[in-house]
Amino acid sequence: MRSDRMKAGLERAPHRSLLKAMGYTDEELKRPLIGVINSKNESIPGHIHLDRIAEAVKAGIRMAGGTPMEVPCIGVCDGTAMNHRGMNYSLPSRELIADSIESMAEANAFDAMVLIPNCDKVVPGMLMAAARVNIPAIVISGGPMLAGRCNGKNLNLTMMFEAVGSVSAGTMSEEELYEMEENACPGCGSCSGMYTANSMNCLTEVLGMGLPGNGTIPAVYGERIRLAKTAGMKIMEILEKGLLPRDIMTYKAFENALTTDMALGCSTNSVLHLTAIAYEAGIKIDLDIINKISAMTPNLCKLSPAGPYHVQDLYEAGGVQAVMKELASGGLLHLDQPTVAGGCLGDVIKQAHVQNHAVIRPFDDPYSTTGGIAVLRGNLAPDGAVVKRSAVAPEMMVHKGPARVFNSEEEAYDAILSGKIKKKDVIIIRYEGPKGGPGMKEMLSPTAAIAGMGLDKDVALITDGRFSGATRGASIGHVSPEAMSGGPIAVVEEGDIISINIPEGRLDVLIDEEALKNRLEKWTAPEPKIKNGYLARYASLVTSANTGAVLK
């Protein structure tokens, strides 16, 4: 056993004495030591209940003959961090999570790990760590939040952010906003739409690192606790088989994940995270593969913010397994890939079937014949940009308009709320990329304000930052190279005409090549926004968004 280097033999008597100080018995120390990495905290609704998940996992481990050792993991809530300095720390926290799990797994010589995330950067951070450490591992999330209800209608977090814009536009009262605030998020779990957390928890199943139901069983259901116990038992099977994360997360597994991503209409952040997880697994994902996969993958689901359904509806319709079954019927998945559930992916989805074709459309009757995400290139984004095509209004798929240029999210948000943005405008928010932010902030507040003011079918937003999975509209992020690295977005001027053509995968500023070259030659980098602490170190090491914003 790997843990024997810490606990076996005469020379490890001092080590065992320390373990016994915590109450571990000789019998427990003879068993495999399983790290239970728990991101429970009291600052994220998706994590407030993870102590119950951890207890269930530990029960499963003990039932199957292992000794669990619970250790903590940090987490940031993107919702409460939105539109203030806290958001600078969200994406960088992903790297801290991966580094800290590596540290704990190696320092404690764990034989295997059960990873308990739920929200935003915690899921990809844990998967990155699993690929890096490469000991037997399984992911069990805390599950999605149920949708809220108010006046007979479903509510979610997207609606809350958009309601702020509606109040500013005078179409909603503050009293109505407060009533929504009281009801939008009814309890624990990752926010109820196909936002980043639920996107990554669903794709964890597709990658083969989570059990069926990991992404969709609601947080408050007893079935979630049973799944956690099963995960605890399964890790012992995985350990016995010697099945490692890099055996599971192969190139074909990432192709499966990207294909299902397109069918589900996941958050654009999934591109950023899948690229980073693949990097840790020693696999390179080129952004061009995304358009290739999207071109042949139908969009089968329109979950919030793209449509009226929520993750609980996906669960009741058959879950991620049913979506994969539809994709497999069209020959789009590699069914021979191993999974932590045992057997291959084809075995896992064999019994799945769609319960509600309004939520999961048939393969031959999709919402669209192409996938939910597109990569755009052009003279404004030579290394690529990403858009959630499934959440863009048809009239905005092709758009030209004057650039309204802002050097921070805060400047743009103030301009939107004060009525300075007009129809046809293309908002440019720059110096918010991985280096420039630093930390590549999400832009949900500006996009939601635009939607709440009724401008989402008239105004586009382009940024070297990124968007929440809760964002809808013509919102194009991850523009690479970013402004802080001297990308073309740094030299766009107020009034330049921006051309967006999503069907053709183009994003351009309509000036001649020589003029653009002259502007770039004259450009000089501004002073960094943050010059000390973790974010300064992060900015000096982080790569571009098109490579996953990983640290080198």
Contact 65, 236 (CB under 8 A): yes
C-alpha 426: how far from chain center:
26
CA dihedral 246, 248, 254, 260 (to 10 degrees): -160
Contact 217, 314 (CB under 8 A): no
Find the catalytic residue in 468, 475, 485, 544.
Answer: 468
Cα four-point dihedral sign 249, 255, 257, 258: positive
In whole angstroms, give the CA distance from residue 434 to residue 385: 14
In 3-state terms the chain splits into helix, strand, coil percentages (rounded to 5) of: 45, 15, 40
Helix axes 196-207, 269-280, angle to 10 degrees: 40
List residues bridging with 398 in a β-sheet: 501
Contact 106, 70 (CB under 8 A): no
In whole angstroms, give the CA distance from residue 171 to residue 412: 21
Residue 38 in tokens:
């728990």
In whole angstroms, give the CA distance from residue 460 to residue 516: 22
C-alpha 321: how far from chain center:
19
Contact 427, 412 (CB under 8 A): yes
DSSP state string for 33-81: EEEEEE---SS-TTTTTHHHHHHHHHHHHHHTT-EEEEEE-----HHHH
Query: For this structure, is 468 an active site residue?
Result: yes
Pairing of strands 381-387, 398-406: unpaired
Residue 366 in tokens:
């999709």
Any idea which residues carry the catalytic annotation? 468
